[in-house]
């Protein structure tokens, strides 16, 4: 267990707290990937919440557990050992500081590229962690592509691989992240408030797949802005729609704002695959989705431009706002 003390929090006074919410997301859409109605349920969930849970996914619990064990081993190393894998520039180990613009959270993490054409070596990562990660990332890319193909089918937007090709491309810009939220029970000063592990944000990519151990903490914002807690389920995956998929579907699918609350008593370990397109890809509403006379809600940009502009903002900024035209969506 990682023991934290009051001076640690004082050294990071910008770590935010929030009021506890008693709203549990009980109506979370659950999609059985093998069910004949899966694609319809996925699209409904992406329109309403930008978020759903996947079961019957075919990823073996053994491969997930192996990776989780290696991640726990890494995060249990003495701090100076972990620091040898950092700072994240952008890949590697980070502690409390998230990104370059002053965001902090009660989290430590490892960030890797998940490109199909080779990896960026991070020092201090064991052979077994690399190999379990490779295996896991391959399963996640396949799952993300399967979901994107179901979306393309259901929305009738041309060839099935219209969206998934962006993640299969050898220049795709996918990422993989391991997060560890240490317990903070000895921080008495919080007096009933919750500590933010990962501040609220939307993911800039097309799609993200989150899996965690059985400790809750993930929350999403509903359309009306209410925050709801997602009950943990270590054997399932949670899928988020990202900003790029919202743009490609001209607002039909909703990029979901989410955050993580760090638990006071138990460590949370999560693993997230972020499906991003090649840097040169234009992120504009697909011609095949637009109805007659429908206008794009967004100004044109490439993934490279969007990624760079997102990198200059704070987590909670409305990054897509810069690219929105002043037209109201019908969806």
Ligand X SMILES: O=C(O)CCC(=O)C(=O)O
Q: Which residues bind ligand X (CB under 6 A)?
A: 177, 179, 198, 203, 210, 212, 218, 258, 260, 270, 272
Q: Which residues contact 175 (CB under 8 A, 6 or more apart)?
A: 111, 112, 113, 114, 205, 273, 274, 276
As measured in angstroms, the least distance from the Cβ of 109 to ligand X is: 7
Q: What are phi and psi of 55, to 5 degrees?
A: -125, 170
Q: Which entry of 66, 165, 268, 319 is annotated as an active-site residue?
A: 268
Closest CB to ligand X among 164 and 208?
208
Closest CB to ligand X among 208 and 250?
208
As measured in angstroms, the least distance from the Cβ of 75 to ligand X is: 13
As measured in angstroms, the least distance from the Cβ of 237 to ligand X is: 11
- Of 310, 267, 51, 266, the closest CA to residue 179 belongs to 267
Closest CB to ligand X among 164 and 270?
270
Question: Is 268 among the catalytic positions?
Answer: yes
As measured in angstroms, the least distance from the Cβ of 292 to ligand X is: 37
As measured in angstroms, the least distance from the Cβ of 198 to ligand X is: 4
Closest CB to ligand X among 94 and 251?
94
* Nearest residue to ligand X on Cβ basis: 270
Closest CB to ligand X among 250 and 270?
270
Catalytic positions, written as ranges: 268
């Amino acid at each position: 267990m990682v023991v934290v003390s009051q001076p640690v929090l004082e050294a990071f006074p910008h770590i935010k707290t929030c009021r506890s919410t008693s709203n549990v997301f009980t109506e979370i859409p659950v999609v059985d990937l093998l069910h004949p109605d899966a694609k319809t349920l996925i699209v409904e969930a992406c329109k309403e919440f930008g978020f759903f849970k996947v079961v019957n996914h075919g990823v073996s619990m053994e491969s997930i557990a192996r990776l989780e064990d290696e991640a726990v081993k890494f995060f249990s190393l003495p701090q100076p050992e972990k620091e040898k894998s950092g700072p994240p520039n952008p890949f590697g180990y980070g502690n409390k500081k998230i990104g370059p613009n002053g965001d902090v959270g009660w989290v430590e993490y490892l960030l890797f590229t998940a490109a199909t054409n080779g990896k960026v070596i991070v020092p201090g990562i064991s052979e077994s962690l690399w190999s379990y990660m490779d295996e896991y990332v391959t399963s996640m890319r396949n799952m993300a592509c399967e979901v994107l193909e179901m979306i393309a089918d259901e929305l009738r937007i041309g060839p099935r691989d219209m969206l998934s090709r962006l993640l299969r491309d050898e220049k795709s810009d996918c990422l993989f992240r391991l997060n560890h939220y240490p317990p903070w029970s000895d921080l008495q000063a919080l007096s009933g408030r919750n500590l933010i592990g990962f501040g609220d944000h939307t993911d800039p990519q097309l799609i993200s797949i989150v899996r965690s151990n059985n400790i809750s903490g993930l929350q999403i914002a509903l359309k009306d802005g209410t925050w709801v807690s997602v009950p943990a389920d270590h054997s399932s995956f949670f899928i988020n729609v990202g900003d790029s998929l919202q743009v490609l579907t001209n607002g039909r699918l909703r990029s979901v704002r989410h955050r993580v609350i760090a638990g006071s008593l138990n460590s949370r370990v999560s693993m997230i695959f972020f499906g991003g397109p090649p840097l040169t890809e234009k992120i504009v509403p697909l011609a095949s989705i637009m109805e007659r006379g429908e206008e794009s809600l967004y100004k044109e940009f490439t993934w490279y431009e969007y990624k760079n502009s997102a990198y200059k903002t704070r987590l909670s900024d409305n990054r897509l706002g810069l690219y929105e035209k002043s037209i109201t969506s019908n969806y």
